[in-house]
Amino acid sequence: MTKAQASVLQIKWKQQGDPPPFCEHPIQELERSDLHDEGYLHGTYYCRECGEAIVHTTRLRPLSTCS
């Protein structure tokens, strides 16, 4: 899902009321992921229901060295 597609969903979602209805983000689509030198994986996802951006950060375990 692109940022533009997410923006369209956000506009439609917000038109449903003030405050907008609660969304549990049941279906998330990956927009991009980045691996950082510190061993963290950052993924940006968008909810396919409301278009909200969700960032997941995961600490990767170092590879074990077997002798």
Q: pLDDT digits over 19-34, tens only?
A: 667 888 889 888 888 8
Contact 56, 45 (CB under 8 A): yes
Confidence tier at 13 by pLDDT (50, 70, 90): confident
CA–centroid distance for 36 within its chain? 17
pLDDT tens, residue by residue, 41-54:
888 899 988 888 88
